[in-house]
Structure 1
Amino acid sequence: MKSTRGARSRRAVVQCLPAEQELGENTMTSARYRRCNRWHFLAAGLVLAGLTACGGSGDAGSALGLVLPPAPPPTDTSGAQDLACDDSMKTGFAPDANTSVLLARTFRKGDPLLLSGTATPATPIAQSDLCLVKLIVGPGHAGPSDAPSTTAGIGIEIWLPAKVAWNRKIHLIGGTGWAGGTQTSPNAISFSPLASPWDVAGVEGAVSATTDTGHTMSNGDFLMNADGTVNTVGWSEFSERGIHDMTLKTKALAKAYYGADAKYTYWHGSSTGGRQGLKQAQAYPGDFDGIIASSPAIHWTRFNTATLYGQLITQRDLGGVAMSIAQVNAVSAAALNACDMVGGKHLGYLIDPSQCAYDPQQDPQVLCTGSGGSNTDATTCVSSAQARSLVKVWYGPTRDGSVPAPATDTGYAVGLAGPRLWYGYPRGATLATSPFGGGAILGPVNPQTLATDTIALIRQDPTFATPSFLNATGNGADGWKNLTYADLGATFDRGIALQAAFGNINTDNPDLTAFQARGGKLITFVGQSDDLIPHQGVLQYYTAVANQLNAALKSPPADTFAAANSFYKLYLVPGMGHYGTNGTVNADANPPVPSEALKYAMLTDWVEKGIEPGRVDVTSAATSTAPAKSQPFCVYPLKATYQSGDAFAAASYACR
């Protein structure tokens, strides 16, 4: 999922400890994971440009955060089809009638990675010899040539390391948002928000790939046919077939190119990529040996519909007048200040947001004098109605717009009851920019288009979307502004009812028994300050997985999550937002967040060496305005519990 938020500046690094230091029983030791990361996000897409390894030399290995293994032994190519990385591959690789090679291009070490145009200082450079192959997998979806739903098929971009450099692994990268891309373009190389597949191939030595899941669109109008009906082909490709076909074709190409099957196949995704990974575990359990499914965008129609709740509150409760960023940030900061105290220090982020019952309706320091408060700053104070609006956003959408008092229900419990439709957003999160968009939390303009597009698709009426949604029956006309709370509830229900037509996009099937039986391993990290996908939805899914497994056992373990934990580890990350950022309104919160290199090392060690992940201690880098902070991440349902000592030190916490 792509947030509307621009670049965030917080960096965090995995703590580099002496190799001999022990962190305790069931703890990840630095001997195995002695690495750190440096994030560089492009504001337009939160595109990860690189990760830096601890003590790295600045080469591509350090840029990826990869601890490079010894050079692999030469791959036995005796069984290869002698495929060359040139136009001859268009006839040399034909795994089935639906698959065509669009392009095969060789890049030598040091070449700029361009298919057209002139290199600039920002152009990535090949770190070793590489082969790029672009595929298209039909049959696509017929229709008018100018319709967003009309496509030729699924585009796939595969990056192959040199034949002598392959490490016998396939390491595939997930998508973001609507997951469209330029994989079919002969003039463009596709970028990923998580990691660069060309560096996965060129530095790690694994075959890597990405897919456009059957479309080039950056919004959801491709999922509506030109006549306004549901594009079931598009939903299927977006939901699951695009990923499955990419996996099958990548495996087939690797075998044909190198003459040997891959030993291990891994999925690595966050947000939409996290949802894609879970879908593969559910629907195609034989595809992957290990899956990283971070911040997964599961419950797609549920959370996307719920994301519009803030705008409806503006329209229904605040007369269409949006709160300002300053107002929202002031109240969010007050929530942090009220709940972030640990060991006598303000931590800067909430270590357990479920314990925060802050209520701005009862806080005179944020209420304007006209609402009985003491705040005389007209730029930051809020009225009683505005304070209640924030409480409603934190609690989550209801069918009638109601909200209980935080003193009786904070909204963090896993499970929904009464009129409640879905979960709300964490206190202290950066709600001014995402998920509500428009420059203000409850803004009447520029809502999160993932929400409005989803609502238009559910209601099969394009006019409910913003004007960026195009269809022959009518374009988006911001019809979402006229929805009532009851309308939102009905849309929520209809989205669930349409799951079969939508390719079961919610990806909430808890039956992972086949993936478990084949020895697959899963790891999920999710931020507890995620301002786009409420983490309680992930907890709901994980609980359902555990219950499904236990129901099949004759003697279920006393620990509800023991069976699930045997192959699926879930980590909650305090203070982390979407895509591994500081998710709080406090710019100096500096919460530790896990790097992608750390996650991948955990997964590969588990799959290949049988080293089961446990407690993970991570340290953020000190900045000019914030000290370094270390924090343990615990395997759910355990959580970091302060014991004594420095609140900024991981050693002061136990997993309880």
Structure 2
Amino acid sequence: MTFARNTFPGLPGRSQKSRQAINPGTLTRSSLILTATAVLLASCGGGDSPPKTAEAACNELLNQDFEGARITRATLAPASGNVPESCVIRGEMPKELAFEVRMPTTWNQRVLFMGGGGFDGAIYQSAYSPGVAESGYATIATNHGHDGEKHPQGSFALDPQLLQDYADGAVPKVLASAKAILRKRYGDAISKSKFVYEGCSGGGRQALIQAQRHPDLFDGIIARAPANAYTGQFLWYQKILKQLAKPGAGLSVGKVQTIAKFSQAQCDELDGLKDNIISRPASCNVDLTALRCTGAESDSCLTDAQLESAKGLYEPTSIAGGRYTWAAFPHVGGETADDSSWQALGGTTYQILGNDYMRYFVAQDPSVDPLSVDPQQYTTRLDYLASLIDATNPDLSKFNARGGKLILFHGTTDWLITLNNTTEYYDKVVASAGGPPAADQFVEYYVLPGNDHCAATPNGGNGPDMVDLVTPMFEWIEKGAKPSSRKIVATRSVEPGTGMQRPLCKYPQYPKYNGTGDPNAETSFTCVSAE
């Protein structure tokens, strides 16, 4: 492992000549690890004092204050498998803002802030990119301002301060405290480190908030399936739930499977391979009226009311006279109404998100029937919420000017947040930057066919579900090597199809089957532009 821009500081008592001799480019992996550990322990001591043990250095953080945060827990977690020994601390701030920082004893000099999701309320210390836990990253995660056990689901939004922290306030406050903690633990080495934010869904929205409103906080930002058009998205949940609740308009598991199979039959092989994965959604034009029932109703056809429900999925949505909008979902197959899937159309997740948004964010009345709330009567409140929570500003000129880099990512079979929302945002960023050549210097967008919302689920998505974007991002901000200049491979981690690989293609390219070779090997595909 080499560190292009992060060199190790000298050990106490060593000459400048000795410091220069520690060249990461010429050290072996073993000597790098030993050097990193020695530097870490030395940074915890001072002068001629013997260096503290990792446990002592961790324990001394307990009950200390860092930029408004009190450390309420500090524990040295032992190494487990390939995950290295780490000091894990919990910090707490007013009102209910809490966070964790994990600091490996053997640190790779990189820092990753990991975003949350949904209504947050808990600290999720796991990354969407594989390999982070094993690779020595210092990581930061937060509950984004509230305790979900005290405020189930969206109920926290009744408190203006908790809502503010959820929308925008938590990350800057937590990052300031975390940087002070990291400096205490690692010394001056932290000043040379790069900071990256990675989040998906609500975490993807939080990622774009940083790029748009706080362009100086992070060197790199990874926004997966971002819920950045939050207002339109959550109003759409209410609209589709109202439509599905109409007499005869519901879509059964069987009917949704019929829609998915109909799309796959027409568009699956546009990428050269029949594998139940539609890799060219923009070229998949499906007319669902061909499924209209002409005789007795069955799961193999749709009534007029059900066609109207499907229209709400696959056509752009306009709400409150066009004041709020939501992009259409593409025809990509993979749809499901089986509520064992967390992204079932009209299922539990839709209901929790859509109903709680209308109760607690919009009407601010826990007892209200969420389907009875008329957005047209709440435009003042909705405009305020949009200004607070949405992250749709395409002008990233300040982020670009300070050298920031952005990766956008979306899976095609995401049925909670439409792929087209991210595509539309990317197109606006490109236009704002002055066109593709200018935008390519700081933003790249990737689409992964057959990938569902954020992570692998046993019943969602037929394609790869796991791809490392953190390593390419650090290579970009440390060495200037764009992610698209290297091969990025996505893999599948769940049954069926464990071991499937596909190349990750920079939009607007897609992975086309070469015509021969193992269909589960990434070498059998080439990233090409649509004809």
TM range (shorter): 0.7 to 0.9
For residues 65 and 326 of structure 2, what CA distance do their matches in structure 1 show? Answer: 46
Q: Does 1:432 align with 2:332?
A: no
SS of the counterpart of 2:209? Answer: helix
**Bigger CA drift: 355-364 or 504-513?**
355-364
Q: Is residue 527–residue 580 contact of structure 1 (8 Å, CA) maintained in 2?
A: no
Q: Is residue 323–residue 386 contact of structure 1 (8 Å, CA) maintained in 2?
A: yes
Per-residue CA distance 1:256-296 (angstroms, 9 max, x = gap): 11222422212222112222222112222222222221111
Q: Does 1:389 align with 2:389?
A: no
Aligned ranges 1:406-555 → 2 under 5 Å:
421-427=325-331, 428-433=333-338, 441-442=345-346, 447-462=350-365, 475-477=366-368, 479-483=369-373, 487-488=374-375, 494-500=381-387, 504-550=388-434
Q: Does 1:285 align with 2:215?
A: yes
| Alignment length (residue pairs) | 481
Counterpart pick for 1:175 among 107, 112, 116: 116
For residues 527 and 66 of structure 2, what CA distance do their matches in structure 1 show? Answer: 53
Indicate the structure whose relative CO is greater, using CA pairs within 8 Å and at least 6 residues apart.
1
Flag the 1:491–1:624 CA change in 2: closer, same or farther, 3 A: same
SS of the counterpart of 2:389? Answer: coil
Q: Is residue 198–residue 222 contact of structure 2 (8 Å, CA) maintained in 1?
A: yes
Flag the 1:564–1:334 CA change in 2: closer, same or farther, 3 A: same
Counterpart of 2:8? none
SS of the counterpart of 1:569? Answer: strand
Shift of 1:643: 8.5
SS of the counterpart of 1:614? Answer: helix
Counterpart pick for 2:128 among 184, 194, 197: 194
Q: Does 1:101 align with 2:101?
A: no
For the aligned residue pairs, the C-alpha RMSD in angstroms reads 3.6
Aligned ranges 1:130-529 → 2 under 5 Å:
130-138=86-94, 140=95, 153-162=96-105, 165-181=106-122, 191-192=125-126, 194=128, 200=132, 203-217=134-148, 218-225=152-159, 231=160, 233-262=161-190, 263-315=193-245, 318-319=246-247, 322-342=250-270, 345-363=273-291, 367=293, 369-370=295-296, 378-399=298-319, 421-427=325-331, 428-433=333-338, 441-442=345-346, 447-462=350-365, 475-477=366-368, 479-483=369-373, 487-488=374-375, 494-500=381-387, 504-529=388-413
Q: How many percent of aligned residue pairs carry the same amino acid?
A: 23
Q: Is residue 248–residue 306 contact of structure 2 (8 Å, CA) maintained in 1?
A: no
Higher helix share: 2
Shift of 1:300: 1.1
The one-letter amino acid of 2:75's match is R
For residues 257 and 250 of structure 2, what CA distance do their matches in structure 1 show? Answer: 13
Flag the 1:274–1:68 CA change in 2: closer, same or farther, 3 A: farther
Per-residue CA distance 1:4-37 (angstroms, 9 max, x = gap): xxxxxxxxxxxxxxxxxxxxxxxxxxxxxxxxxx
Q: Does 1:639 align with 2:523?
A: no
Counterpart of 2:18? none
Q: Is residue 175–residue 211 contact of structure 1 (8 Å, CA) maintained in 2?
A: yes
Counterpart of 1:556? none
Q: Does 1:577 align with 2:511?
A: no
Flag the 1:68–1:497 CA change in 2: closer, same or farther, 3 A: farther
Q: Is residue 220–residue 453 contact of structure 1 (8 Å, CA) maintained in 2?
A: yes
TM-score (norm 1): 0.65
Q: Is residue 74–residue 90 contact of structure 2 (8 Å, CA) maintained in 1?
A: yes
Q: Is residue 514–residue 524 contact of structure 2 (8 Å, CA) maintained in 1?
A: no
Shift of 1:488: 4.3
For residues 307 and 435 of structure 1, what CA distance do their matches in structure 2 show? Answer: 18
Q: Is residue 513–residue 524 contact of structure 2 (8 Å, CA) maintained in 1?
A: no
Q: Is residue 351–residue 575 contact of structure 1 (8 Å, CA) maintained in 2?
A: yes
For residues 624 and 212 of structure 1, what CA distance do their matches in structure 2 show? Answer: 31
For residues 78 and 488 of structure 2, what CA distance do their matches in structure 1 show? Answer: 39
For residues 299 and 247 of structure 1, what CA distance do their matches in structure 2 show? Answer: 24
For residues 71 and 516 of structure 2, what CA distance do their matches in structure 1 show? Answer: 58
Flag the 1:214–1:574 CA change in 2: closer, same or farther, 3 A: same
Flag the 1:508–1:447 CA change in 2: closer, same or farther, 3 A: closer
Q: Which runs of 4+ in 1 moved over 6 A?
A: 417-420, 434-439, 622-625
Counterpart of 1:14? none
Q: Which runs of 5+ in 1 are unaligned?
A: 1-66, 111-124, 141-152, 184-189, 226-230, 372-377, 401-416, 463-474, 551-559
Shift of 1:135: 0.7
TM-score (norm 2): 0.79
Flag the 1:80–1:429 CA change in 2: closer, same or farther, 3 A: same
For residues 512 and 435 of structure 1, what CA distance do their matches in structure 2 show? Answer: 39
